[in-house]
């Protein structure tokens, strides 16, 4: 029995250890973290402090972010070394250690580069400051749509915390409500930002129970939330909330191309990042018989070892046994009537500590419009379906990333034109491909900023 790690709220008057705390266990069910839950009054006071606070001047802000990213990735923050932090995250969230390590580096890169990548979203007619010489002839200036930005963060992958850094870079004061599944990453990142020059009233961490969570959004100018379809529906009409919903990413291989030339990319797209990211492939469509492709994917995925998440070679995300069983039975209910190539007898594989990994599942569908193709589960779980010319682009509605392996330019035009397909990768590019400056689900800047006409003497 080791001492618990306390994750306090980081409020406008410093850190606060609440009486009301949640014990967050590791994947084996052992108590690991004591997470403070703050009450509504704390939320409203913190949000009000953010509103009254100043924004750090741009140069100072970006320097502080760069330093914080370094400190977060490599330093000792609140008494915890980088290695301890990474190990703890993998034990708490079940995310494989190599994935945590990659995410940490990506967060540090975002901290250093967010401002520049955010600039890609600035309209070509806009400048950043009224002092720009263009203002003398009249120009657009790119301005924030508000001052206070809030995030209801997700805990599926540490990398989700690289996105809101863009809001911070653009000068918003930011409130983060951590996920109860993995609150350590935002705690460490915000602690590092504070240690590097941000004021306690410029960035806050507000862990709350569900009842108080909406209050954070209500008092922010703009916010971003993560969740399932219910969350998307809840905020559909709210122009101040940007929901990050299901990914349902897909791959299409048409008859003019041979899937055998792309099997590495396909398998990687399914299992990269442990299969828990919204950019992991949920379904693969092939023009022709899907069975040989499903068989080939199954053969490759079955070679992945079952390892505890803190192992340096771990690939699969670990879950508590009850959580793993719940996902497995959900899969089995959904998979009824489909043809299993892998995982048909169950996907739960118990680890020595009593936790479990979910081993890959490959199921073949017989209809391009089968509803299973949109059933996205947080492990390497893929549906392989036939695609036909008659089915056309319609099967790809509501897809975060579509990789299309095809030479059919007319089809590509149609896929590009569909606004519900958020990203289109053409050819041998995995669905998880991302790079700074290229949008993930449109530029965040499109949501955070607007233009204002300025002319001056």
Partner 1 sequence: MSEKILDLPLDARPDPDEFVRAAMEWHFSPETGSAYWLERAKTLGFDPRKDVKSVEDLSLFPNIVNELRDVRVEDLIPRGYGADADVVGVYESGGTTGAPKRVIILRDWWQRIMAWMNAGMDAAGFPENVNWLVVMPSGPHMAGKMSEQHATDRGGIRFTVDMDPRWVKKLVAAGKAEEAEAYAEHLVEQAGFVLRTQDVGVIITTPPLLERISRHDDLVELIDEKVKGIVWGGAHMDADTRYLYRTEVFPGVKLRGTYGSTMILGGSNERLDLTDDDACIFDPPAPWITFRVIDPDTGRTVDHGERGQVVMNHVTKNMLLPNNLERDLATRVEPPAGLAGDSVADVTPVARFDDETVIEGVY
Residues that bind partner 1 (CB under 8 A): 13, 18-20, 38-42, 44-45, 48, 154-157, 180, 209-211, 226-229, 231, 244-247, 276-278, 280, 323, 326-327, 330, 375-378
Q: What is the dihedral of CA 163, 165, 167, 172, to 10 degrees?
A: 150
d(CA 448, CA 130): 19
Shortest distance, position 264 Cβ to partner 1, whole Å: 23
Task: Name the region of 381 (left: φ>0; alpha: ψ -120 to 50; beta: rest).
Answer: beta
- Which is closer to partner 1, CB of 297 or CB of 327? 327
Nearer to partner 1, 260 or 397 (CB): 397
On whether the CB atoms of residues 192 and 217 are closer than 8 A, the answer is: no
Q: How far apart are CA 142 and CA 125, in angstroms?
A: 9
Tokens 């589960």 correspond to: 377
**Residue/partner pairs of 432-436 with CB below 8 Å, 24 or more apart:** 432/268, 432/269, 432/272, 432/273, 432/277, 432/279, 432/280, 432/401, 433/279, 433/401, 434/279, 436/109, 436/110, 436/113, 436/116, 436/117
Q: Which is nearer to partner 1, 134 or 334 (CB)?
A: 334
Asked if residue 300 lies in contact with residue 325, where contact means CB atoms within 8 angstroms, the answer is no
Name which of 108 and 323 has its Cβ closer to partner 1. 323
CA gap 142, 135 in Å, rounded: 12
228 vs 354 by CB, closer to partner 1: 228
- Least Å from the CB of residue 126 to partner 1: 33
Spatial separation of the C-alpha atoms in residues 322 and 395, rounded to whole Å? 34
d(CA 398, CA 374): 9
Q: How far apart are CA 181 and CA 153, in angstroms?
A: 10
| Shortest separation between residue 304's beta carbon and partner 1, angstroms | 18
Q: Which residue has the tokens 């070394």?
A: 81
Minimum CB distance to partner 1, residue 84 (Å): 26
Smallest separation (angstroms) from partner 1 to the CB of 20:
6
195 vs 231, beta carbon nearer partner 1: 231
Q: Please, which residue, 41 or 76, has the CB nearer to partner 1?
A: 41
**Pairing state between β 203-205 and 222-226:** unpaired
Cβ proximity to partner 1, 284 vs 378, nearer residue: 378
> Cβ closer to partner 1: 102 or 180?
180
Least distance from C-beta 326 to partner 1, angstroms? Answer: 6
In terms of Cβ atoms closer than 10 Å to its own Cβ (0-12, 13-18, 19+), residue 391 is middle
Query: Least separation, in Å, of the C-beta of 194 and partner 1?
Result: 19
Min dist CB 226 to partner 1, Å, is 4
The torsion defined by the Cα of 72, 74, 78 and 84, in degrees rounded to 10, comes to 110
Among residues 19 and 410, whose Cβ is nearest to partner 1? 19
**Cα–Cα distance, 275 to 383 (Å, whole number):** 13
Residue 106 beta carbon to partner 1: minimum distance, rounded to whole angstroms: 17
Least distance to partner 1, CB of residue 322, Å: 8
């Amino acid at each position: 029995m080791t001492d618990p790690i306390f994750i306090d709220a980081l409020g406008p008057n410093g850190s606060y250890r609440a009486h009301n705390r949640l014990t967050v266990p590791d994947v084996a069910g052992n108590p690991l973290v004591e997470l403070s839950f703050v009450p509504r009054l704390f939320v409203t006071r913190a949000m009000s402090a953010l509103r009254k606070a100043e924004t750090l001047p741009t140069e100072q802000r970006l320097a502080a972010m760069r330093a914080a990213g370094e400190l977060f990735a490599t330093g000792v923050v609140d008494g915890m070394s980088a290695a301890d932090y990474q190990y703890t995250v993998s034990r708490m969230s079940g995310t494989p250690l190599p994935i945590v390590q990659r995410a940490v580096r990506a967060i540090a890169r975002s901290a250093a580069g967010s401002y520049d990548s955010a600039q890609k979203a600035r309209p070509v007619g806009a400048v950043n400051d009224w002092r720009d010489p263009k203002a003398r002839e009249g120009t657009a200036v790119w301005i924030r749509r508000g001052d206070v930005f809030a995030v209801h963060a997700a805990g599926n992958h540490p990398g989700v915390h690289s996105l809101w850094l863009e809001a911070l870079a653009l000068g918003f004061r930011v409130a983060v409500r951590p996920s109860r599944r993995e609150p350590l990453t935002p705690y460490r990142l915000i602690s590092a930002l504070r240690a590097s020059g941000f004021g306690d009233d410029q960035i806050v961490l507000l862990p709350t129970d569900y009842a108080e969570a909406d209050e954070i959004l209500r008092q922010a100018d703009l916010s971003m939330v993560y969740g399932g379809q219910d969350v998307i529906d809840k905020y559909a009409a709210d122009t101040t909330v940007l929901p990050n919903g299901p990914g349902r990413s897909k791959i299409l291989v048409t008859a003019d191309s041979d899937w055998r030339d792309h099997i590495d990319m396909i398998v990687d797209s399914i299992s990269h990042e442990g299969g828990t990211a919204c950019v992991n492939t949920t379904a693969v469509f092939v023009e022709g018989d899907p069975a040989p492709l499903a068989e080939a994917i199954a053969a490759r995925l079955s070679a992945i070892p079952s390892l505890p998440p803190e192992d340096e070679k771990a690939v699969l995300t670990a879950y508590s046994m009850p959580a793993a069983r719940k996902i497995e039975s959900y899969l089995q209910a959904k998979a009824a009537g489909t043809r299993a190539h892998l995982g048909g007898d169950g996907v739960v594989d118990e680890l020595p500590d009593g936790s479990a990994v979910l081993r890959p599942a490959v199921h073949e569908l017989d209809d391009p419009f089968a509803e299973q193709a949109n059933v996205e589960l947080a492990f390497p779980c893929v549906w392989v379906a036939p695609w036909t010319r008659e089915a056309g682009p319609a099967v790809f509605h509501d897809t975060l990333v579509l990789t299309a392996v095809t030479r059919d330019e007319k089809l590509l035009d149609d896929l590009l034109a569909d606004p519900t397909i958020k990203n289109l990768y053409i050819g041998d590019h995995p669905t998880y491909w991302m790079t700074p400056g290229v949008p993930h689900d449109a530029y965040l800047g499109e949501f955070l900023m607007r233009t204002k006409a300025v002319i001056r003497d």
